[in-house]
Copies of this chain bind each other. A is one copy, B any other.
Amino acid sequence: MAKLNEEDKQSAGFWVTQEAPIHSDNPIPTATSPAPDILRCAYMELIVTDLAASREFYVDVLGLYVTTEDDEAIYLRSTEEFIHHNLVLRKGPVAAVAAFSYRVRTPEDLDRAVTFYEELGCEVRRNPDGFVTGIGDSVRVVDPLGFPYEFFYQTEHTERMSWRYDLHIPGELVRLDHFNQITPDVPRAVGFMQNLGFRVTEDIQDNEGTVYAAWMRRKPTVHDTAMTGGDGPRMHHVCFATHEKHNILAICDKLGSLRRSDAIERGPGRHGVSNAFYLYLRDPDGHRVEVYTQDYYTGDPDNPVVTWDVHDNQRRDWWGNPVVPSWYTDGSLVLDLDGNPQPVVARTDDSEMAVTIGADGFSYTREGDEEKGFKLGNTL
């Protein structure tokens, strides 16, 4: 792990440094025009093939609040949200992501977004009435990594349901926390996101310099989005936060009662990366949804960057529980601005799954362990 020296190692088994460039041999050029000032990930527009089935999952099971809905789309928000929505479910022929949408600080940041992406040669569209209900003037682009990104400031306000405990359920989702994107070349993606104003908070590397994943933030949490190495562009997951860990367990319990436990893909568990307690679900179209709680504040400019060794078996699950293969391999298609799926490009760097699990992979629980972990050997 070239960038990591023994003196940077922390007592819990990872390395801490200041944010350093993750070197890319194939960088996206740096725009000369300023990036828009992004506040936070705000909502995802998901294409679903069966609107009723999706409504049952997100509303009846997960308890998101319906701001408005019609035959074509459902607009949902989490408990403490005051903007119009955090999730749009839109009926369509192919399950995919239509937009990763971010809120910017001012209306003028939309002009900056247009200039910034046009300079990079991206397709850019602006709609002063918004692309979806409840959102005003918006810019949508296909970014240099192939993802459909949206930026907006104007939005209808809704009532925060935080004080409406009479409506809360045991598995209450209180906040949209982050997106996670799959991309073949993580260093290239990270470099671009840094130019867009994101800061790296954590990453996974190996001693040979391969970067397997990186977490990046605008708001002061561990991330607004992450880049996960794999065939892409695809969406890995969208994540909502709960207040407490038992809220996440309650979602599992409820899925069991509904005889839908097969919607639980991985977890619950404790992440090494982010230190959050987590659960991964799959919606009726296979879109992955994370539920997550209790990462940490990252808002200082010199926030230490945490780097994990890809062979550390506690990096993705602090308890060493196995990552199921589907979690590494499956992802959702993303659409271009005309609604057509973006082609998927294969990752050429080492795959995290290949280097860590299965016949040829290696993971340790304690650095220096020379054999495969007891648990991986028994479960995969």
Contact = CB atoms under 8 A, between A and B. Distances in A.
The winner among A106, A169, A319 for most chain B CB atoms within 10 A is A319
A9 to B, nearest CB: 10
A347 to B, nearest CB: 20
B261 A314 contact: yes
A318 to B, nearest CB: 4
B296 A270 contact: no
Contact of A374 (B168, B258, B262): B262
A174 to B, nearest CB: 8
A329 to B, nearest CB: 9
A163 B295 CA distance: 11
Contacts of A256: 163, 165, 270, 272, 314, 318-320
Interface of A is mostly: loop
The number of chain A residues touching the other chain, given as a range, is: 35 or more
Interface in A148-196: 157, 159-160, 162-170, 172, 174-175
Contacts of A297: 80, 175, 219
B318 A253 contact: yes
A374 to B, nearest CB: 5
A299 B39 contact: yes
A380 interface: yes
A302 B82 CA distance: 10
B262 A373 contact: yes
A139 to B, nearest CB: 18
A253 B265 contact: no
A257 B12 contact: yes
Interface stretch (A117-125, A208-216, A243-251): A243-251
B300 A39 contact: yes
Interface string A44-88: 000000000000000000000000000000000000101100000
A322 B80 contact: no
A304 B13 contact: no
Interface string A263-303: 01100101010010100000000000000001011011111
A245 B254 contact: no
Contact of A169 (B10, B169, B259, B319): B169
B320 A262 contact: yes
Contact of A259 (B10, B105, B365): B365
A166 B219 CA distance: 29
A11 to B, nearest CB: 6
Nearest to A293: B243
A197 to B, nearest CB: 14
Nearest to A377: B326
Contacts of A235: none
Given A82-B303, A365-B259, A264 B12 contact: no
Given A106-B301, A220-B220, A259-B314, 18 more contacts: A10-B163, A12-B163, A13-B259, A82-B304, A160-B296, A162-B275, A163-B257, A165-B253, A166-B258, A168-B253, A219-B297, A243-B294, A244-B245, A256-B319, A262-B373, A324-B378, A379-B379, A380-B380
18 contacts: A11-B164, A12-B257, A16-B159, A105-B301, A166-B258, A167-B257, A168-B253, A169-B169, A219-B297, A244-B246, A245-B249, A253-B318, A253-B319, A259-B365, A261-B319, A261-B320, A262-B373, A268-B268
